[in-house]
C-alpha cells in the first residue's frame, strides 16, 4: 500500500498522470491485488493528495488527475463481493458515507429521507465541483425542517427531486458509480451520528446494487423537480 501511495504522490508532482505512471500502478496492483477496503483507502488518498496540492491555477489538472488516478486503480479481474455493517452513535457511519462520496469517479445516486449533516453536505458539494454527476431524491416534508441542507445542495447546481405526495419517501441509500451501495436505517443528520442507534450496510454485491439502481431510476421518473 505504501508503494502505491508513493507512486501516486510522485505522479501528482507535475499535475499529470503519465501513461508510464498509470502502467506502473496497474502492474503493481496486478502483482499484489488489493481488496475493496484498500481500494477505498487509496481513492480517499487520491482525494487527500489532490486537496493538498490544488490551486486556482492547476484546478483543471487536478480534476483530470483524480479521474486518471482512480481509473488506474481499476482491476480488470472480477471483483470479490464484499459487505460490511457499521453502527452509530459515533462517527463510523458518517465517515463511511463520506469516504464513499469521495471515492466516486463518475456518479452518485443519493436517495435519502433527509440531509442535515453539514459535513456530509460539504462532501457532496465538493464531489459535485470536481465533476461527479450527482442526483438526489428526498422527501418534501423533511426538506422544510430547520437545518435541512436540500436548498443548499440544489443551489449548488446539484439535481434534486422530491416526493410531493402525502406519503413519505423514506429510503436511505446511495449508489456509487453503479458499483457500491450504502443502505440502512442511518439518517444523514447530526443527531444520527451523536445520539441515535442506527446502522448502514456497505456492499458491492452486483445483484443487490442492480436492484437498488432500478428502484432509483423508477423513483427519479416519478418524483418532481425541487
Known catalytic residues?
Answer: 170, 172, 177
Q: Is residue 17 a contact partner of residue 76, using CB atoms and an 8 Å limit?
A: no
Identify the CA nearest to 104 among candidates 137, 82, 130, 83: 130
Cα–Cα distance between 166 and 58 in angstroms, integer? 48
Cα–Cα distance between 165 and 167 in angstroms, integer? 5
For 152-178, give the DSSP string.
HHHHTT-EEEEE-SSS----EEEEETT
b/e for 83-118, b at 16 or more Cβ within 10 A?
eeebebeeeebbebbbbbbbbbbeebbbbbbbbbbe
CA 221, chain centre distance (Å): 22
Cell reading at 95: 465517515
Cα–Cα distance between 75 and 33 in angstroms, integer? 8
Block residue for cell numbers 402525502 = 166
**SS3 call for 107:** strand
**SS3 call for 204:** coil
Amino acid at each position: 500500500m505504501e508503494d502505491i501511495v508513493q507512486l501516486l504522490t510522485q505522479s501528482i508532482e507535475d499535475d499529470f498522470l503519465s501513461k508510464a505512471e498509470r502502467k506502473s500502478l496497474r502492474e503493481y496492483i496486478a502483482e499484489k491485488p488489493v481488496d475493496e477496503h484498500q481500494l477505498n483507502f487509496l481513492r480517499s488518498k487520491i482525494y487527500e493528495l489532490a486537496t493538498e496540492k490544488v490551486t486556482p491555477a492547476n484546478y483543471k489538472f487536478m480534476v483530470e488527475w483524480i479521474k486518471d488516478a482512480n481509473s488506474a486503480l481499476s482491476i480488470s479481474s472480477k471483483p470479490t463481493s464484499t459487505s460490511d455493517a457499521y453502527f452509530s452513535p459515533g462517527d463510523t457511519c458518517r465517515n463511511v458515507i463520506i469516504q464513499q462520496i469521495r471515492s466516486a469517479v463518475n456518479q452518485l445516486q443519493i436517495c435519502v429521507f433527509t440531509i442535515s449533516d453539514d459535513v456530509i453536505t460539504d462532501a457532496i458539494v465538493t464531489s459535485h465541483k470536481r465533476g461527479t454527476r450527482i442526483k438526489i431524491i428526498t422527501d418534501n416534508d423533511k426538506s422544510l425542517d430547520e437545518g435541512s441542507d436540500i436548498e443548499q445542495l440544489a443551489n449548488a447546481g446539484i439535481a434534486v427531486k422530491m416526493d410531493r405526495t402525502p406519503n413519505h419517501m423514506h429510503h436511505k441509500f446511495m449508489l456509487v458509480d453503479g458499483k457500491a451501495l450504502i443502505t440502512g436505517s442511518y439518517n444523514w443528520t447530526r443527531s444520527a451520528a451523536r445520539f441515535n442507534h442506527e446502522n448502514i450496510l456497505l456492499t458491492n454485491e452486483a445483484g443487490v446494487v442492480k436492484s437498488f439502481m432500478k428502484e432509483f431510476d423508477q423513483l427519479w421518473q416519478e418524483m418532481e423537480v425541487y
